[in-house]
């Protein structure tokens, strides 16, 4: 029997827990059972009580205090501890049947998604071990990043790094769309949803007047000053190369999410379902065939 799940990832504050709650709410409305796993050892408040909470195994505050670690080192320690105690996840998840959508709500420390092999090992255990969960990654990035292009591209690179590292079906989501509604024109937004590598380049055409930053750079000959570094030709070349890299892979595009909008949540869930092939695995059921278990949300 297969199981089905989604790994909700992304930087701190991107809206992962809010999206997880919206998914649970949507599943309840559509009478679909789901199972909520909190893997953020620092998360305190939940709209829905987790079925599994990593804090019952280990908490970030205890680790930071007892091991004298900071929040990033502490988080890595928590995940290393989880990997040594995988029964904590395996035993309860073993009971979850194929009707359920298992939602893993992840922490936001970027280290987890970029250069340590902890997450790939965890994913391998969940997907390829005895649990055999069909999983998809949902990587959230805040839509407000589109007003700060370097920030947006940095976020896009971290999404890409997670994609390459995890080797699992992956969708990218631009969250908190309500915050930019009416402030960013549709055609400008399109260049972010399907990132345009030229976005990072200087938008001015030759012959345009120099802007304030460039004028400052010209007046200040210090090669190490921020303006000179940011406005320099090599920095522009680097930006161009980053844009080109994202374009060459042509793997990164974003879906829009407005958690307040039931339709938007439902649309994202359809993409997740396609990626994990949820519907193909469901037996045709009688309309009143309720799921007969007492776990999770149904
Ligand atoms: N306006 C707006 N705020 C949001 C949205 N999603 C999350 N937030 C807020 O962003 C903050 C971080 O959200 P949270 O879900 O805890 O982020 P996480 O750290 O990625 O789990 C909270 O204050 C949320 O209320 C959204 O869609 N719109
Ligand atoms: Mg959270």
Domains, the chain, in order of start with CATH, read 3-195+252-281 (3.40.50.300), 199-249 (no CATH)
CB of 47 shorter than 6 A to ligand 1: no
Residue 141, pLDDT score: 95
Q: Which CA distances in Å does 136 have to 8, 85, 175, 269, 272?
A: 9, 23, 17, 11, 7
CB of 14 shorter than 6 A to ligand 1: yes
CB of 15 shorter than 6 A to ligand 1: yes
Which residue(s) pair with 134 in the sheet?
4
Q: What is the pLDDT of residues 14-64, one digit of tens each?
A: 999 999 999 999 999 999 999 999 999 999 999 999 999 999 999 999 999
CB of 160 shorter than 6 A to ligand 1: no
Residue 285 has pLDDT above 80, yes or no: no
Could you count the other beta carbons within 10 Å of the beta carbon of residue 269? 20
d(CA 12, ligand 1 centre) in Å: 9
Strand runs (DSSP E) across 74-132, as ranges?
A: 101-105
Residue 66 has pLDDT above 80, yes or no: yes
Ligand minimally distant from the alpha carbon of residue 176: 1
Residue 208 has pLDDT above 70, yes or no: no
The single-letter DSSP state of residue 129 is S
Across the beta sheet with 52-53, the strand order is: 52-53, 34-38, 101-105, 3-9, 133-142, 170-175, 254-256
Q: Which is more confident, 269 or 153?
A: 269
- pLDDT-derived band at 293 (thresholds 50, 70, 90) equals low
Q: Which CA distances in Å does 86 have to 63, 93, 124?
A: 18, 11, 12
CB of 107 shorter than 6 A to ligand 1: no
In the block, tokens 């902890």 appear at: 118
d(CA 42, ligand 2 centre) in Å: 9
Full-model pTM: 0.87
CB of 178 shorter than 6 A to ligand 1: yes
Tokens representing 278 are 């949820």
For helices 149-166 and 233-249, the axis angle rounded to 10 degrees is 40
- pLDDT-derived band at 71 (thresholds 50, 70, 90) equals very high
d(CA 13, ligand 1 centre) in Å: 6
- pLDDT-derived band at 234 (thresholds 50, 70, 90) equals confident
24-28, 210-214, 229-233, 274-278: least confidently modelled range: 210-214
- The residues near 148 (Cβ < 8 Å, ≥ 6 apart) are none
Helix (H), strand (E) at residue 256 = strand 254-256
Ligand minimally distant from the alpha carbon of residue 260: 1
């Amino acid at each position: 029997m297969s199981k089905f799940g989604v790994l909700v990832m992304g930087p701190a504050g991107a809206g992962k827990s809010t999206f997880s709650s919206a998914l649970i709410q949507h599943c309840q409305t559509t009478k679909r059972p789901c199972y909520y796993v909190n893997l953020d050892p620092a998360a305190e408040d939940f709209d829905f009580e987790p079925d599994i909470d990593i804090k019952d195994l280990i908490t970030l505050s205890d680790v930071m205090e007892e091991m004298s670690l900071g929040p990033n080192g502490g988080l890595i320690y928590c995940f290393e501890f989880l990997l040594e105690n995988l029964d904590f996840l395996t035993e309860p998840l073993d009971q979850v049947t194929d009707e359920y959508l298992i939602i893993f709500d992840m922490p936001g420390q970027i280290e987890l998604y970029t250069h340590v092999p902890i997450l790939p090992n965890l994913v391998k255990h969940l997907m390829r071990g005895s649990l055999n969960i069909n999983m998809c990654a949902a990587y959230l990035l805040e839509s407000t990043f589109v007003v700060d292009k370097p920030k947006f591209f940095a976020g896009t690179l971290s999404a890409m790094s997670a994609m390459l590292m995890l080797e699992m079906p992956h969708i990218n989501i631009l969250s908190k769309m309500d915050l930019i509604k009416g402030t960013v024109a549709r055609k400008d937004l399109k260049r972010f949803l399907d990132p345009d590598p030229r976005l990072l380049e200087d938008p001015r055409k030759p012959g345009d007047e120099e802007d304030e930053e460039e004028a400052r750079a010209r007046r200040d000959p210090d090669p190490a000053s921020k303006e000179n570094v940011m406005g320099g030709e090599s920095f522009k070349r680097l930006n161009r190369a980053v844009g080109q890299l994202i374009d060459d892979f042509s793997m990164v595009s974003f879906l829009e999410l407005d958690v307040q909008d039931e339709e938007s949540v439902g649309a994202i869930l359809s993409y997740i379902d396609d990626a994990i092939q949820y519907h193909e695995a469901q037996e045709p059921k009688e309309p009143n065939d309720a799921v007969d278990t007492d776990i999770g949300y149904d």
